[in-house]
Chain A
Amino acid sequence: MKFISVAIKDFKELIRDRRGLFMILLFPMFFMIIFGFAFGDMGKSDETHNLAVINLDEGAKMPLSNEEVNFGDNLTKILSDSEYENSDVKLFKVTNTSESTANKLIQLKEADAMIIIPKNFSQTIVNKMEDSITAQGTGTTSTDNNSNNDTLKLLIKGDSSSMGFGVSQAVLVKIIGEYQDNLAAHIQSQISGSSVETLKLFEGDVESVSGTESFSQFDFLAPGMMLFAILLLATTVAASLTREVEKGTLARLKISKMRSFDMLFGALIPWSAVAAIQVLILLTVALIMGFNWQGGLNSIVLAMFIGVIGGIGSIALGMIIASFAKNDTQAFNLGIMVVVPTSFVVGAFFQLPQMVIGEIMGRSFQIYDILPWTHILNALKSVLIYGNGWSAITYDLAWSVLLTVILFIIGIGMFSKFRLSVEN
């Protein structure tokens, strides 16, 4: 297990190089603080957002009372009535419209977001109620016998690069989540059963989100800052690998029985830990600076996990840089030259204009999506800004893992070829 020995050695070097460690952790922190001051108050007013509602719900009859209901109308009303916490400013100015008009409104920036309520919205809820009642009547406690597997899909769309959409989306997710909870509780009390499990009305795992406090620009920048920090690791990793080359310690290792795998996999472990700690520290700093963190402790663990994957990507990038750099200063400079543009491309600071190059699994695939960090950032935002869980980030996580693995293989390949093979 030589890679463990390498990991321990690298870890000791990392910890004992206090100055280096401080730089790695403090530099991004400094950025976060500056951004917190600069953007913390920006857009923080309780602004009413324009929401286009496309209510296609055809209504349904309630199972016991046969009363005509339209949950879509009900939800629309709730959306138009909702107000900011501790304020009488409305969250949304609702416009009922068609999907095509809504698209136009979004393009013209007259609507921040649109929500589509499907035509079977009420019917699906009623079906679920009936299933519960049947289950109750026959004494079955299982919910698996749901003959009706319709899932409710409330589609929220908008321009993902606009902050208005970001806020609207977060708020919508919260309102819908509460609506679901209230509805489920309501149905439960109506059918007096207690052993039936909560009706799952909405697709996706919506965790409870904290109050609709005002979002600021900073909230949307903070995850980007974390990503920037993670990307910056590439420079440090490149510099540290190049130092081994420059100081000749690599030559020592080359003539030993160590293989490239041992060296690079060994290096991965302490640096991944740094990435995780970085996310934690930056999240703490961001919170101090007023970041609206959504989600519970879970989201921290999840964000750290995402950070580690991003960190591995950066380590791979560091290996590629170290394959070319002649000394650690050059590695550092080269690293900055690669990392800063990459941060812009993956949207760490602001979203670049859309450049769709294809469609994969029903989602548009943009040119930026070939970099793992784009997905890392999406996942970080999803978890930290919107308080989403696993299921919401599976797509981005899968992509980032795949792309990181590819990048890591390239990194190992290049470093082995240029640095670990016998010199010519």
Chain B
Amino acid sequence: MMDEFIIEANNLSKSFGDFVAVDNLNLKIKKGEVFGFLGPNGAGKTTSIKMMVGLLRPTSGQILIDGTEIRHADKLKIGICPQDIVLWESLTCKESLKFMGEMYEVPNDILKTRVESLLEDLMLMDKANTLVSNLSGGMKRRLNLAMALIHSPEIVVLDEPSEGLDPQSRRVLWNFIRSLRDKEGKTVILTTHLMDEADGLSDRIAIIDHGKLMRLDTPKNLKKEIGEGDIVEIHLFDSKMNQKLISRLKTLENIDSVIEVDGIINVRALNAVGKLPEIMSEVQNMNIEIADLSLHPNTLEDVFIELTGTRLRE
């Protein structure tokens, strides 16, 4: 079906001078899905979505919104919640939403009820007439999100929505994002560098690094790709010994991969617990001291590490 995709990016590139921020990106976002852009800071996530909402002109390539070139696309279709808090400090919550709605030409009667329901949904009702400058950080974040939704866009773009939120507010936000998809059928695009956010929320995830699309799939498939299993992380006192130990560990049987990530040895194996005695004896044989050792089940982050050789957060 042709219009199953609401956003298409074809050969999208963006350079700033010599620096290539986005490199030949091709992806299609389905109507009604939560689409996650996952990548470390500076990977090109924000640049990509800025182009997708029409704020930034691509160096080359094309973006189609519901089949229409972005330049001619209906502005009502897209709402963006920027990474930074972008609000008018001397307006109240209600005034801010009303003003933004007017800028989108939302009819007055609809606007009124929409302002009320957004304030309600994002738990800002009792702050409706409070100046933005007097809101707490979390409240500002929520209003920031409401501003993107005031014209009821089909596509909601959220740039690092959890940034600066406490765990509790994060849960509220996630539930809200899910309800946007499930109750209102909206397409949600979110960028994040938080694994659990990408994993728990997204229907599909695009992993981006250095402006390039590394993988695009469902979280489940991505995790399957590197196989089931566990990860052992070994932190040596003397990181100079890392390479020596890695070469020794590689000779062991039933070990899927051994790599060094940010000075820590990362061992992936199907049954890592069973492998631990063997690993430990290698360490002892080499007479190396371990500073820290941990074991955890395979996560999306490990997929990322496998793909990029780095962690998401430095």
Q: Which A residues form the contact surface with B (CB < 8 A)?
A: 2, 5, 8-9, 12-13, 16-17, 247-249, 251-258, 262, 422-424
Contact = CB atoms under 8 A, between A and B. Distances in A.
Given A252-B86, A255-B54, 12 more contacts: A2-B103, A8-B99, A247-B86, A248-B82, A249-B88, A251-B86, A255-B80, A256-B104, A257-B75, A257-B104, A422-B54, A423-B57
Interface of B: 50, 53-57, 75-76, 78, 80, 82, 84, 86-88, 90-91, 95, 99-100, 102-105, 131, 147, 151
Nearest to A422: B57
Nearest to A252: B86
A257 B90 contact: no
A13 to B, nearest CB: 5
Contacts of A262: 103
Contacts of A251: 55, 82, 86
A255 B155 CA distance: 13
B103 A258 contact: yes
A253 B102 CA distance: 11
Given A16-B131, A248-B84, A422 B55 contact: yes
Nearest to A18: B90
Contacts of A257: 75-76, 103-105
A254 B80 CA distance: 11
Contacts of B99: 5, 8-9
A373 B307 CA distance: 64
B54 A256 contact: no
Contacts of A423: 50, 55-57
Contacts of B87: 249
Nearest to A423: B56
Contacts of A17: 90
Contact of A252 (B50, B57, B100): B100
A-B pairs with lowest CB-CB distance, top 6: A248-B86, A256-B103, A16-B90, A5-B102, A258-B103, A13-B90
Given A16-B90, A422-B56, A422-B57, A253 B84 contact: no
B132 to A, nearest CB: 10
Contacts of B90: 12-13, 16-17
Contacts, number: 65
B215 to A, nearest CB: 29
Contacts of B86: 247-249, 251-252
Contacts of B131: 16
Count chain A CB atoms within 10 A of each CB in B80, B90, B95, B131 and give the residue with the most: B90
Contacts of A247: 86
A40 to B, nearest CB: 38
A18 to B, nearest CB: 10
B148 to A, nearest CB: 9
B91 A255 contact: no
A256 B75 contact: yes
B193 to A, nearest CB: 20
A253 B88 contact: no
Given A255-B55, A422-B55, A423-B57, A13 B91 contact: yes
A13 B55 contact: no
A375 B211 CA distance: 56
Given A422-B55, A423-B55, A252 B147 contact: yes
A257 B73 CA distance: 12
B82 A255 contact: no
27 contacts: A2-B103, A5-B102, A8-B99, A9-B99, A12-B95, A13-B88, A13-B90, A16-B90, A247-B86, A248-B82, A248-B84, A248-B86, A249-B87, A251-B55, A251-B82, A251-B86, A252-B86, A252-B147, A253-B103, A254-B55, A255-B75, A256-B75, A256-B100, A256-B104, A257-B105, A423-B56, A424-B57
A251 B46 CA distance: 14
Given A16-B131, A248-B82, A2 B105 contact: yes
Given A251-B82, A422-B55, A424-B57, A12 B102 contact: no
Contacts of A248: 82, 84, 86
Nearest to B83: A248
Given A256-B104, A257-B105, A9 B53 contact: no
A422 B82 CA distance: 16
A9 B91 contact: yes
Contacts of B103: 2, 5, 253, 256-258, 262
A9 B88 CA distance: 9
A191 B285 CA distance: 134
A252 B149 CA distance: 12
Count chain A CB atoms within 10 A of each CB in B50, B53, B55, B105 and give the residue with the most: B55
Nearest to A5: B102
A12 B94 CA distance: 13
Contacts of A9: 88, 91, 95, 99
Contacts of A253: 103
Contacts of B56: 422-424
Contacts of B84: 248
A257 B57 CA distance: 18
Nearest to A244: B88
A4 to B, nearest CB: 9
Contacts of B78: 255
A2 B75 CA distance: 15
Nearest to B70: A422
A424 B87 CA distance: 24
B80 to A, nearest CB: 6
A404 to B, nearest CB: 27
A247 B147 CA distance: 15
A422 B73 CA distance: 14
Contacts of B102: 2, 5
A259 to B, nearest CB: 10
Contacts of B151: 256
A55 B81 CA distance: 78
A247 to B, nearest CB: 6
A226 B142 CA distance: 45
B90 to A, nearest CB: 4
Contacts of A249: 86-88
